[in-house]
A and B are shown apart, each in its own frame.
Chain A
């Protein structure tokens, strides 16, 4: 199949073609190792309570990646993640304590693993159900549903007394050998690494690219034979899986699960940390999440110092004050990010991540993404190409460049959300591709694509306006419309 595939790079800039020398690669790998080694060294050498905080940061990063799957990759807002994480935490603790008897006898590693598996499953199932709902309800209304779900869980499921031991909380004893704060921090870092790996390999696979195309425009993706429904649910399930893992880790990290840990304030903070990190940008999300997790601890001494400085500021020293300042500053930071730097941290660090990924160091990687109609309009055309989707001759062969180079600005990614959710709706594919109609009827199902060459002309060089441009970037998907997909589109 690969031989028959004509692979054209979509947005071929000079940077894309450029490859570092061997020396360059060595330098890049060395820096990467240095960063990873630094994290390990830091975790091993800091005091116990700081290791515990690192564990919290790692768990937040897992939660961030979980949310990013829904918010960043498929462009739907989930405000009910505290429910996924919370229910998973209770289930993990419940299994470890009530079923495996960890409370008095200590916990074996296998019990911990089993708890985590149950937690992950609970998250996956809950998110899968949400995914089903999301097939019909999208955008603002889905956000509403998820918020309602989160609040209902808070007032309902988290009040079920056999789970919460009547509000006192369900204990979760850490597994033998990983009881210390340092050891447990390493355990969470291992899980984080695993989650990153799953996220990375999924997003560079066919599934990941299909998910991104769904985000760009559902009807269009459907008309090109992408199983929109399936991929959306996969994304939700994976998100729930990550949330479940995070829930279990959080349970054992806290060692006692109480409902208060999963308030709506928590959920909203999680959403904001992903936004600040940069929607759809893995590295940015991890940094953003870790920052939100750690920020309060860094702020504490500062507030103490400020409070001691001047009498009227004394209230800053009060216990709890720092937790609230974190909420205020975090929210303000998120507002600032959304308005001024929609690309988030991810975009700011993208020169570095791109360099590490094997490209030239450049301070001006991609759009600045301020909210202007112009910018948003412009991005419409480029997104598909920049998502790394390439044109090829067959339906299921979609190759891509590194997804780390995907557009990082909220604007670009979010334009896509707009298209899927808000008016004006994207024109139905048949209208956009009138000349594709015969192909649509001639070709078979998505699983059995015809090996005929791409009917779509190359982008650029034409001045026929958006219709031709749209066709262009769809062509880059390498996908052809087929009858089944059209059917699906009609029934939507």
Chain B
């Protein structure tokens, strides 16, 4: 991947936040840290998206709901039924969603293997909507709250828990995110470069016909890919929801699916590390937009009032620019 470009972009965004925020009371550091953590969650989801696209040439628009549903399942076990400790609830959710990914592969992806890609895309939309419907039906639209493993605020003192980083208190959940992401990056790297199955998945994404020629079972890699993608999606949801706020039906689709896809597109839709780094870029970009729109005045109104949702607008603009500027180069034949 064009690593240099991406590193440059990240440096540029961070630099902009720093320069613009110089002398600001709150300071820009918080924005950078938040951006990094959010970006990590986007990156996780993006890695799943790229995996599925590489391996089976599908844009999985149901990916966001893997995350939302995982959070709901954890919520169900931990807070609603109160039957299991936190860790076990998370584990149940991960297992359930991984199975759901396998189910989706079997019921939707495999029968449509030879169908046009756009048909498959519509099918994943339908599946995503089905999951949203199930969430709405089972949990109703009112937002819930899935607590993080360790509360970010000390109940007794009201003080934020966790170390201070450049004036920003890093919450325990955010540290969990960092830990999980690092562990995941290491194990994925190992899986794809060292194991036969990992190589087989990479091979599938490069020349699906040739994988059949050498005798690799198509069904098996496809299953593996979808199972892994669902697992990653679930993990993203379980990490993002407690850190990012309310748990409502469809929340990951509305809040993180597009940033994650943007991250994947920045990574060329084919590079797993690229997708992850893309996630960081998007996370930082959102913070820059939010921060800037809240701080700059146009007449008597800040931008935020004039154009709400500046973070989303920034992501959309980034997606559009990347796609328009390099429709073929960055994306291969399918742009």
Chain A interface (Cβ < 8 Å from any Cβ of B): 75, 77, 79, 133, 136-141, 143-145, 147-149, 151-152, 154-156, 159-161, 264-265, 268-269, 271-272, 275, 320-321, 323-328, 330-332, 334-335, 338-339, 342, 371-373, 376, 410-411, 414-415, 417-418, 421-423, 425
Query: Are B119's CB and A414's CB within 8 A?
Result: yes
Which of B1-9, B90-98, B132-140, B185-193 lines the interface with chain A? Answer: B132-140
Residues of chain B in range 227-266 having any CB-CB distance to chain A below 8 Å: 250, 253-254, 257-258, 261-262, 265
Q: Does B19 contact A (CB under 8 A)?
A: no
Of the candidates A144, A264, A275, A330, the one whose C-beta lies within 8 Å of that of B59 is A144
A147 touching B61 in the complex, CB below 8 Å, given contacts A320-B140, A411-B115, A414-B116:
yes
| Nearest neighbor of B323 in chain A, beta-carbon distance | A137
Mask, B38-63, CB within 8 Å of A = 1, is: 00000000000000000001010100
Q: List 15 A-B contacts (CB under 8 A).
A: A79-B61, A137-B323, A138-B335, A139-B334, A144-B59, A145-B319, A148-B261, A149-B316, A151-B254, A268-B129, A271-B125, A324-B137, A371-B111, A371-B114, A417-B118
Q: CA of A425 to CA of B332 in the docked complex: distance in angstroms?
A: 12
Tell me the dominant secondary structure on chain B's binding face: helix
Q: CA of A481 to CA of B261 in the docked complex: distance in angstroms?
A: 39
Query: Are A418's CB and B136's CB within 8 A?
Result: no
Min C-beta distance of B115 to chain A, whole Å = 4
Inside 8 A of A265's CB, which chain B residues have their CB?
129, 132, 250
Inside 8 A of B57's CB, which chain A residues have their CB?
422
Q: Does B313 contact A (CB under 8 A)?
A: yes
Inside 8 A of B333's CB, which chain A residues have their CB?
422-423, 425
| Nearest neighbor of A316 in chain B, beta-carbon distance | B137
Q: Does B108 contact A (CB under 8 A)?
A: yes
| Nearest neighbor of B123 in chain A, beta-carbon distance | A338
Q: CA of A164 to CA of B113 in the docked complex: distance in angstroms?
A: 44
A140 touching B118 in the complex, CB below 8 Å, given contacts A79-B125, A423-B333:
yes
Inside 8 A of B134's CB, which chain A residues have their CB?
328
Q: CA of A411 to CA of B112 in the docked complex: distance in angstroms?
A: 11
Max chain B CB contacts within 10 Å: which of A79, A145, A330, A423?
A145
Q: Does B130 contact A (CB under 8 A)?
A: yes
Q: Does B85 contact A (CB under 8 A)?
A: no
Min C-beta distance of A475 to chain B, whole Å = 25
Max chain B CB contacts within 10 Å: which of A156, A161, A271, A376?
A156
Q: Does B87 contact A (CB under 8 A)?
A: no
Query: Are B118's CB and A321's CB within 8 A?
Result: no
Min C-beta distance of B108 to chain A, whole Å = 6
| Nearest neighbor of A274 in chain B, beta-carbon distance | B122
**15 further interface pairs, Cβ-Cβ under 8 Å (given A152-B313, A155-B312, A335-B108):** A143-B59, A144-B319, A148-B319, A151-B312, A155-B308, A155-B309, A156-B313, A264-B253, A272-B126, A320-B141, A325-B137, A331-B130, A371-B115, A415-B116, A423-B333
Min C-beta distance of B314 to chain A, whole Å = 10
Inside 8 A of B137's CB, which chain A residues have their CB?
321, 324-325, 327-328
Q: Does B165 contact A (CB under 8 A)?
A: no
Query: Are B136's CB and A327's CB within 8 A?
Result: yes
Query: Are B118's CB and A418's CB within 8 A?
Result: yes
Q: Does B86 contact A (CB under 8 A)?
A: no
Query: Are B114's CB and A335's CB within 8 A?
Result: no
Mask, B99-132, CB within 8 Å of A = 1, is: 0000000011001111111110111011111101
Q: Does B179 contact A (CB under 8 A)?
A: no
Query: Are A327's CB and B118's CB within 8 A?
Result: no
| Nearest neighbor of A144 in chain B, beta-carbon distance | B261
Q: Does B280 contact A (CB under 8 A)?
A: no
Query: Are B116's CB and A156's CB within 8 A?
Result: no
Q: Does B307 contact A (CB under 8 A)?
A: yes
Query: Are A140's CB and B334's CB within 8 A?
Result: yes
Inside 8 A of A271's CB, which chain B residues have their CB?
122, 125
Of the candidates B113, B127, B136, B324, the one whose C-beta lies within 8 Å of that of A133 is B324
Min C-beta distance of B126 to chain A, whole Å = 4
Q: CA of A141 to CA of B262 in the docked complex: distance in angstroms?
A: 10
Inside 8 A of A160's CB, which chain B residues have their CB?
307-308
Inside 8 A of A136's CB, which chain B residues have their CB?
323-324, 327, 335
Q: CA of A199 to CA of B253 in the docked complex: distance in angstroms?
A: 33
Q: CA of A32 to CA of B289 in the docked complex: distance in angstroms?
A: 57
Inside 8 A of A418's CB, which chain B residues have their CB?
116-118
Q: Does B16 contact A (CB under 8 A)?
A: no
Inside 8 A of B119's CB, which chain A residues have their CB?
338, 342, 371, 410-411, 414, 417
| Nearest neighbor of B261 in chain A, beta-carbon distance | A144
Inside 8 A of B136's CB, which chain A residues have their CB?
323-324, 327
Min C-beta distance of A468 to chain B, whole Å = 25
Q: CA of A228 to CA of B122 in the docked complex: distance in angstroms?
A: 25
Q: CA of A113 to CA of B19 in the docked complex: distance in angstroms?
A: 52
Q: Does B218 contact A (CB under 8 A)?
A: no
Q: CA of A269 to CA of B133 in the docked complex: distance in angstroms?
A: 11
Q: CA of A161 to CA of B114 in the docked complex: distance in angstroms?
A: 47
Min C-beta distance of B141 to chain A, whole Å = 8
Q: CA of A417 to CA of B117 in the docked complex: distance in angstroms?
A: 8
Of the candidates A338, A414, A415, A423, the one whose C-beta lies within 8 Å of that of B334 is A423
Q: Does B320 contact A (CB under 8 A)?
A: yes
Min C-beta distance of B250 to chain A, whole Å = 7
Inside 8 A of A144's CB, which chain B residues have their CB?
59, 258, 261, 265, 319
Q: Does B10 contact A (CB under 8 A)?
A: no
| Nearest neighbor of B104 in chain A, beta-carbon distance | A335
- Which 10 pairs between the two chains have the least Cβ-Cβ distance? A327-B133, A156-B309, A418-B116, A331-B130, A328-B133, A155-B309, A159-B308, A324-B137, A371-B115, A414-B116
Of the candidates B59, B130, B319, B320, the one whose C-beta lies within 8 Å of that of A335 is B130
Inside 8 A of A145's CB, which chain B residues have their CB?
319-320, 323
Residues of chain B in range 13-69 having any CB-CB distance to chain A below 8 Å: 57, 59, 61
Inside 8 A of A320's CB, which chain B residues have their CB?
140-141
Query: Are B258's CB and A272's CB within 8 A?
Result: no
| Nearest neighbor of B59 in chain A, beta-carbon distance | A140
A328 touching B312 in the complex, CB below 8 Å, given contacts A144-B59, A417-B118:
no
| Nearest neighbor of A327 in chain B, beta-carbon distance | B133
Q: Does B331 contact A (CB under 8 A)?
A: yes
A331 touching B133 in the complex, CB below 8 Å, given contacts A137-B327, A148-B261, A156-B312:
yes
Q: CA of A268 to CA of B250 in the docked complex: distance in angstroms?
A: 12
Mask, B293-324, CB within 8 Å of A = 1, is: 00000000000010111101101100110011
| Nearest neighbor of A77 in chain B, beta-carbon distance | B118
A137 touching B324 in the complex, CB below 8 Å, given contacts A151-B312, A339-B123:
yes
Of the candidates A143, A264, A325, A371, the one whose C-beta lies within 8 Å of that of B118 is A143
Min C-beta distance of B261 to chain A, whole Å = 5
Q: CA of A205 to CA of B107 in the docked complex: distance in angstroms?
A: 41
Query: Are A417's CB and B125's CB within 8 A?
Result: no
Inside 8 A of B116's CB, which chain A residues have their CB?
376, 411, 414-415, 417-418, 421-422
